[in-house]
Homo-oligomer: A and B are copies of this chain.
Amino acid sequence: MTAMRKLSDRLSELADLKALQTLAGWDQLVMMPPGGAAGRVHQAGTLARILHDHATAPEIGELLAELEVGELPELERDVVRLARRDWERARRVPTDLAAELSKAHADGQESWQAARAADDFAAFAPALERNIELARAYGRCLDEEGRGVYQSLIDDFDFGLRTDELRRLFSELGSRLTPLVEEASARAAIEKPAVPREVQQRAVETIMARVGVDGESWRLDTSAHPFSASMARTDQRMTTRYEDGGIESLLSSLHEFGHALYELQIDPALDRTNLGAGTSMSIHESQSKLWENHVARHPAFATVLVEGLGAAGFEIGAGELHGALVAVAPSLIRVSADPLTYPLHIVLRFELELALIDGDLGVADLPAAWRDGVKRLLGLDVPSDALGCLQDVHWSEGAFGYFPSYAMGCLIAASMWEAMEREIGPRAEDLERGEVEPIKRWLGDRVHRHGRRLDTVPLVERATGTGLEVESFLRYVAPFAAV
Contact = CB atoms under 8 A, between A and B. Distances in A.
Nearest to A16: B46
A19 interface: yes
A23 interface: yes
A24 interface: yes
Interface of A: 12-13, 16-17, 19-20, 23-24, 27, 31-36, 38-40, 42-43, 45-47, 50, 215-219, 231-235, 271-272
Contact of A13 (B12, B46, B231): B46
Given A19-B43, A39-B233, A216 B34 contact: yes
Contacts of A13: 46, 50
Nearest to A264: B35
Given A36-B235, A231-B32, A43 B20 contact: yes
Nearest to A38: B232
B35 A216 contact: yes
A219 B36 CA distance: 11
Contacts of A33: 215-219, 234-235
A23 B17 contact: no
Nearest to A49: B13
A231 B217 CA distance: 25
Task: Give this chain's copy count.
Answer: 2
Contacts of A218: 33, 35
Contacts of A272: 39, 42
A31 B215 CA distance: 11
A232 B46 contact: no
Contacts of A36: 217, 231-232, 234-235
A220 to B, nearest CB: 10
A416 B42 CA distance: 35
Contacts of A216: 33-35
Nearest to A214: B33
A6 to B, nearest CB: 15
A36 B236 CA distance: 8
Contacts of A12: 42, 46
Contact of A24 (B23, B217, B234): B23
Given A35-B232, A36-B231, 5 more contacts: A12-B46, A16-B43, A23-B24, A33-B235, A42-B272
Contacts of A50: 13, 17, 50
Contacts of A217: 33-36
Contacts of A47: 16-17, 20
